[in-house]
């Protein structure tokens, strides 16, 4: 329980940080302060919190688990493309969002879309779709918390209890601290988990006798040798992953974070440093996930490898429940905590476990984003704030935080998929296909609300089809995200050209 106690102490610290931020603004009660930190985040906090909110359980646990099963190619699939695409979207789209938010007082992306396209209920449809796609990402945070605490403590803390603890802590500081508390916690957590990767890499490397020997043993085995190459991944499948980072700027929590910067110049440092931050956290996690395949002397990992082999030769008539049990046992989402437990001293395993929890708990921003969107795009838009005042608006947002966290926790208890697969199939694919909405609204004056509605309905249909029949949209060996995004672009263009444009007055407000 020593590592668990250290992690619990860490959770208490970040809960205090969130509450401390709330105490600092307690008398103000303004919606813009609670939801956007008064648009006053400085450059360091802005960079760390923006990066941290995008590096969730998917980054540390999910990337290591995917690399455990697929090899070193995981880094080039996600991290390489992200290091290029994400800074570019922040530079071209994030800065434009910030400027419009400053000029017109927008708090959410839907507010901007409603104003830009002169639409009302279509904005509500877009909000509902974004909310539905963001929930799986919130679930990932709860899953990561349960998985990490269970692994760090060797199973003493069960999955359901660990996930519940993380959900309560996140709900606590988001409830009290709002955006300012969330940003400060994210900045602190980002600093912690950026240093986690190097520390874990060194400690585990010493424990296994050095990574060169581990890699040589993998190369010598015909079953594991392909893990160190790209031969398992087809070129078209590889190309598909360049579309995934388009989802980042379309994520509501990232778009909202872009509105919190104090000055536009802060984006310059963020664009330059973001790729370096990605390398610092992704490279060690992916490498550790691959190296785990050589640690057959570790009982927990040996059981995973045996389950993977059994799954590969399982007969087609195997009952679905048995197949799912093997899949869960073979999953690699917890390989890094397992390796820490095996090779790090207890006190160090606890400190590094806190680093894992720092990334896992980045779901706080998604929860706050959905709360912000609900209060601004539904409660306020339909007259709630005008009738009851800003104080009630903030309390409504806090109530939504509680409801959303409880719902995410309940769903996470029965989530059947791995963290990586859940993120790619729902959150990343859906939001990447929604990215043409922002591009069209900001850079194409002929775009219309009807084009936006067509895109939203298509993405909804595509996500449902992808969930029910995962291979249906995998055209020509591509990931579904590619046809989803391409069709979104085509629909936006064709439907917009066939429908009346916004008024000249609206276009003039946006500089056209």
d(CA 355, CA 289): 16
Within 13 Å and on the Cβ side, how many CA atoms surround 148?
Answer: 36
pLDDT tens-digit map of 309-338: 998 888 888 888 888 888 888 988 889 888
Between 353 and 77, where is the model more confident? 77
pLDDT confidence band for 261 (50 / 70 / 90): very high
- φ/ψ of 41, rounded to 5, equals -70, 135
| pLDDT average, residue stretch 405-415 | 81
pLDDT tens-digit map of 357-394: 776 676 778 888 888 999 999 999 999 888 888 888 88
- φ/ψ of 305, rounded to 5, equals -65, -40
| pLDDT average, residue stretch 108-116 | 95
Residue 12's nearest CA partner among 143, 253, 188 is 188
- List all residues 6 or more positions away from 128 whose beta carbon is below 8 Å from its beta carbon: none
In this predicted structure, the answer to whether residue 416 has a pLDDT above a threshold of 70 is no
- List all residues 6 or more positions away from 149 whose beta carbon is below 8 Å from its beta carbon: 4, 7, 157, 161, 162, 163, 165, 166, 353, 357
Q: How many C-beta atoms surround the C-beta of residue 222 within 10 A? A: 7
DSSP state letter for 417? S
| pLDDT average, residue stretch 213-240 | 86
DSSP state letter for 261? B
According to the model, what pLDDT value does residue 28 have? Answer: 47
Instruction: State the average pLDDT for the chain.
Output: 86
Longest dimension (CA), the chain: 71
According to the model, what pLDDT value does residue 462 have? Answer: 92
According to the model, what pLDDT value does residue 126 have? Answer: 95
d(CA 452, CA 125): 10
According to the model, what pLDDT value does residue 374 have? Answer: 92
Q: What is the pTM of this model?
A: 0.86
According to the model, what pLDDT value does residue 493 have? Answer: 97
> Do the beta carbons of residue 360 and residue 56 sit within 8 Å?
yes
3-state secondary structure of 41: strand
> Do the beta carbons of residue 256 and residue 109 sit within 8 Å?
yes
d(CA 267, CA 224): 42
| pLDDT average, residue stretch 143-167 | 83
- φ/ψ of 309, rounded to 5, equals -65, -40
- φ/ψ of 500, rounded to 5, equals -65, 140
Classify the phi-psi angles of 209: left when phi > 0, otherwise alpha if psi is within -120 to 50, otherwise beta.
left
pLDDT confidence band for 175 (50 / 70 / 90): confident
According to the model, what pLDDT value does residue 422 have? Answer: 61
pLDDT confidence band for 22 (50 / 70 / 90): low
pLDDT tens-digit map of 26-58: 444 467 888 888 898 999 999 988 888 877 667
CATH fold group of domain 2-15+40-299+331-414:
Sodium/glucose cotransporter (1.20.1730)
* 186-190, 346-350, 406-410: least confident range: 346-350
pLDDT confidence band for 417 (50 / 70 / 90): low
Domain spans of the chain, in order of start: 2-15+40-299+331-414
Residue 295's nearest CA partner among 207, 230, 170 is 207
> Do the beta carbons of residue 333 and residue 65 sit within 8 Å?
yes
Residue given tokens 């249909």 in the structure block = 461
pLDDT tens-digit map of 269-282: 999 999 998 988 88
R_g of the chain, CA atoms, integer Å: 23
d(CA 103, CA 201): 46
């Amino acid at each position: 329980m020593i590592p668990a106690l250290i992690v619990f102490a860490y959770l208490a610290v970040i809960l205090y940080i969130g509450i401390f931020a709330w105490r600092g603004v307690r008398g103000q009660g303004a919606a813009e302060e609670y939801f956007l930190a008064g648009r006053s985040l400085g450059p360091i906090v802005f960079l760390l919190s923006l990066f941290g909110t995008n590096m969730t359980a998917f980054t540390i646990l999910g990337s290591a688990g995917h690399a455990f099963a697929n090899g070193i190619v995981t880094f080039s699939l996600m991290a390489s493309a992200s290091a290029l695409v994400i800074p570019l979207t922040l530079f071209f789209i994030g800065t434009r969002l910030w400027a419009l938010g400053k000029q017109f007082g927008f708090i959410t992306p839907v507010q901007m879309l409603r104003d830009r396209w002169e639409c009302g209920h279509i904005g509500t449809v877009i909000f509902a779709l974004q909310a539905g796609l963001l929930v799986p990402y919130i679930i990932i945070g709860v899953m990561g918390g349960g998985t990490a605490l269970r692994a760090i403590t060797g199973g003493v803390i069960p999955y359901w209890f660990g996930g519940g603890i993380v959900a309560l802590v996140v709900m606590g500081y988001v409830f009290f601290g709002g955006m300012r508390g969330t940003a400060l916690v994210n900045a602190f957590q980002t600093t912690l988990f950026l240093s986690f990767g190097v520390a874990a890499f060194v400690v585990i490397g010493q424990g296994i006798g050095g990574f060169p020997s581990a890699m040589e043993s993998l190369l010598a085995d015909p079953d594991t040798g392909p893990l160190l190459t790209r031969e398992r991944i087809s070129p078209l499948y590889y190309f598909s992953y360049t579309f995934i980072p388009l989802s980042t700027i379309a994520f509501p929590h990232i778009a909202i974070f872009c509105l919190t910067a104090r000055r536009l110049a802060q984006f310059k440092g963020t664009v330059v440093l973001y790729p370096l931050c990605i390398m610092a956290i992704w490279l060690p996690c992916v490498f550790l996930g691959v190296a785990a395949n050589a640690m057959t002397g570790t009982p927990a990992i040996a059981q995973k490898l045996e389950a993977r082999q059994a799954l590969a030769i399982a007969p087609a008539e195997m009952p679905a429940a048995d197949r799912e049990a093997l899949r869960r046992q073979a999953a690699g989402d917890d390989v890094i905590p397992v390796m820490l437990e095996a090779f790090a001293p207890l006190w160090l395993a606890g400190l590094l476990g806190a680093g894992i929890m720092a990334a896992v708990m980045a779901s706080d921003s998604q929860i706050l984003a959905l709360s912000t969107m609900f209060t601004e795009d539904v409660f306020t838009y339909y007259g709630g704030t005008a009738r009851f005042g800003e104080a009630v608006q903030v309390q409504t947002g806090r109530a939504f935080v509680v409801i959303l966290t409880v719902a995410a926790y309940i769903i996470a208890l029965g989530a059947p998929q791995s963290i990586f697969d859940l993120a790619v199939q729902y959150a990343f694919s859906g939001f990447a296909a929604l990215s043409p909405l922002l591009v069209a609204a900001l850079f194409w004056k002929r775009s219309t609300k009807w084009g936006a509605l067509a895109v939203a309905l298509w993405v909804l249909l595509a996500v449902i089809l992808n969930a029910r029949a995962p291979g249906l949209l995998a055209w020509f060996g591509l990931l579904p995200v590619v046809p989803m995004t391409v069709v979104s672009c085509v629909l936006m263009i064709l439907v917009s050209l066939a429908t009346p444009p916004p008024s000249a007055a609206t276009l003039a407000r946006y500089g056209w």
